[in-house]
Structure 1
Amino acid sequence: MAILCAGEILFDFISKSPNKGLGESGLFEKRPGGSPFNVAVGLAKLGADVSFLTKIAQDQFGKFLFEYLKENGVNTDYSFRAEGLKTCLAFAAVDAQGKAEYEFYRDDAADTRLELKDIANLQYEKFNIFHFGSIALIDEPTSSTLTRLFDNFISRGLLTSFDPNVRKSLLKNRESYNNLVKSIIKKVDILKMSDDDLFYITEKKDVEEAIRTLSIKEGSILFVTLGSEGSLVYKDGIIERVPGYKVKVVETVGCGDSFMAGILYKLRDLSKEDFYSISVEELVDYANFANKCAAVVATKQGAANAMPTLSEVRQFEFL
């Protein structure tokens, strides 16, 4: 069965000036990115049937991104092209303390303008899983459109997946944002969060304590990525840690999205009944595969560009 990913599509401009921060960086490298977009490309490169739902500007950046989706095997039937709007640009750098800095330029960005009328003819029966999240939830009307779509998938008995991928610099109201994320968490089947996202949403500083404050419905699954420490699986009160893989790290942009793609790839053919009966042991195996996907990405430069194929994951030699 196919997967529908939805959300932002943009260009990342990654600083090539080590530890200079955004203000002092003099050179940036342009790469296609955006969390749900990276996941869609990652799924396609692994061999999954995946479509991407968004609005894409008809500026030169947007035209390239539309072709990039097609060239990488992502179905674009629901990637609507929009005139008179812009492509979102995101700048990223690491400062002298090793902290990542982000600045987003989203004025009149096409991916913020997804409307309910755009999804009126969506063929739900084509899809087994709906995945969404990230900064697409911040701007209207896209935020309301995606949350309505989320509810529509739930009402049809289909699986749903969510990664908040928090970008604090874009949030105007932390309380309203956290309330929205928590309302989604209560209903979603597959939840993925980084440890930083988890701490931000729960305001706790211990991973296991933070998990137990979340209102995760019975049978749903949570994956928490822990950077070089690997990941964690949670289901129905059971927590299992899954060690990461040692690699020579080039950068970590896109690792979390590759992890998410790995998880969805493993779950893509499950019925809802099979999904809810899946064991924690099986989920640990899936997280182990996703850890491998993320580790491969860490050895490369790029976000969508770095997403691995299935053969690459299988043949990669870890340290």
Structure 2
Amino acid sequence: MTREILVAGETLIDFLPERPGPISSVEQFDRRPGGAPANVAVALARLEQTPLFWTRVGDDPFGRYLRKTLDEHGLPDRFVERDPDAKTTLAFVTHDETGDREFSFYRDATADTRFQPGRVDGTTLEDLEWVHAGGVALSSGSSREATLDLLERAASRDCTVSFDPNARPELWPDEGVFREGVREALEHVDVLKAAEEELEALGFEGDGVEELARGVLDVDGGPSTVFATRGGEGAIAVAGGDAAWSGTASHPGYEADVVDTTGAGDAFVAGTIAALSEGRDVEETLAFANAVGAAATTAAGAMAALPDREAVRAIRRTE
């Protein structure tokens, strides 16, 4: 069976706190599967567009748990790699009273920093219409070269390439290195999803989120479409003249009973990919992606709350 979408990047363990507050004050954590690309891949499966997923976990108890979880969500194991010489990444998450979170990573030479170029073969790429990756893989190890290689080869085969910077400052030496790494990736990207503050961290300038997004469209050879998220204030989309879809749209987002915002941005990404790959226009795509993101905030844990299409329709009925 030919699959039209491939997602690439890390799968890891999120440890979620029993209550809000700084990590030093939390006594108990719950283990949950996570990693932005893993969340995107599972979210697409929940939206009935199961992708191929290229990821790498340790050959340890955490890695075995994650492989089992991916299998339970129906993701094929063809590109789910097991690293016998490295551990699986762990991330401890802390929340404030509004549900916003911070991360503390244990990611020194772990499996997801050890992707190797060329693992996704040319024949597979020829069968794909869409490839998605995230910025964490660019931050360390051979995964940077492997991710850039994948994006370049996908773009050369006329795949639509999407990218989420997924800025985690603690994983980068400084903001300048983050900016340089992501800017290099953007040379191969068609669709960029980024939070407003991420666009600023990448050095784009403008009075407001729409001007920031239009600054991305001015990058030579860079993205032709930008989806910029603004948390509880919704999101905007700007598509340039070279995009397969056209137009500018904004959406205020949806009301939801927020429990945990972990994974909401990843759910938004999956909603964007699903809608655009189905031929929806920018305005409808933005509304759909916002609904997927809102539904994903209603339970704890990134994967646990990822919605199916009925849950998305329920959120949209509140509009």
Same fold (TM over 0.5): yes
Cα 1:211/1:68, change in 2 over 3 Å: same
Superposition CA RMSD, Å: 2.2
* Maintained 8 Å contact 1:190/1:220: yes
The higher-RCO structure (CA 8 Å, 6+ apart) is 1
Report how far residue 292 of structure 1 moved. 0.6
Cα 1:236/1:107, change in 2 over 3 Å: same
The worse-fitting range, judged by mean Cα deviation, of 87-96 and 251-260 is 87-96
* Maintained 8 Å contact 2:130/2:160: yes
* Maintained 8 Å contact 1:253/1:298: yes
Structure 2 counterpart SS, 1:48: coil
The residue type paired with residue 265 of structure 2 is G
The residue type paired with residue 315 of structure 1 is A
Residue of structure 2 in register with 1:32 after alignment: 33
Q: Is the counterpart of residue 288 in structure 1 residue 290 in structure 2?
A: no
Structure 1 counterpart SS, 2:296: helix
Out of 201, 212, 215, the position equivalent to 2:214 is 212
Q: Is the counterpart of residue 228 in structure 1 residue 228 in structure 2?
A: no
Residue of structure 1 in register with 2:135 after alignment: 134
* Maintained 8 Å contact 2:99/2:260: no
Report how far residue 212 of structure 1 moved. 3.3
Report how far residue 314 of structure 1 moved. 1.7
CA distance in 1, matches of 2:309, 2:73: 14
Report how far residue 134 of structure 1 moved. 2.8
Out of 249, 252, 256, the position equivalent to 1:247 is 256
Report how far residue 108 of structure 1 moved. 3.0
Residue of structure 2 in register with 1:81 after alignment: 82
Question: Structure 2 regions of 5+ residues with no counterpart?
Answer: 242-246
CA distance in 2, matches of 1:100, 1:301: 12
Residue of structure 1 in register with 2:244 after alignment: none
Residue of structure 2 in register with 1:144 after alignment: 145
Cα 1:153/1:72, change in 2 over 3 Å: same
CA distance in 1, matches of 2:203, 2:46: 34
Q: How many residue pairs are counted as aligned between the two chains?
A: 308
- Structure 1 length-normalised TM: 0.89
Deviating beyond 6 angstroms after TM superposition, the runs of 4 or more aligned structure 1 residues are: 96-99
The residue type paired with residue 263 of structure 1 is T
Cα 1:169/1:310, change in 2 over 3 Å: same
CA distance in 1, matches of 2:80, 2:294: 29
Residue of structure 2 in register with 1:181 after alignment: 182
CA distance in 1, matches of 2:159, 2:194: 21
CA distance in 1, matches of 2:308, 2:99: 30
Task: Give the percent of matched residue pairs that are identical in Structure 1 and Structure 2.
Answer: 34
CA distance in 2, matches of 1:103, 1:122: 38
Residue of structure 2 in register with 1:275 after alignment: none
* Maintained 8 Å contact 1:128/1:269: no
- Structure 2 length-normalised TM: 0.89
Report how far residue 7 of structure 1 moved. 0.7
Q: Deviations over 1:266-299 (max 9, x none)?
A: 12356xxxxxxx8xxx211011011111111111
Residue of structure 1 in register with 2:125 after alignment: 124
* Maintained 8 Å contact 2:160/2:190: yes
CA distance in 2, matches of 1:51, 1:76: 8
Question: Structure 1 regions of 5+ residues with no counterpart?
Answer: 271-277
Residue of structure 2 in register with 1:201 after alignment: 202
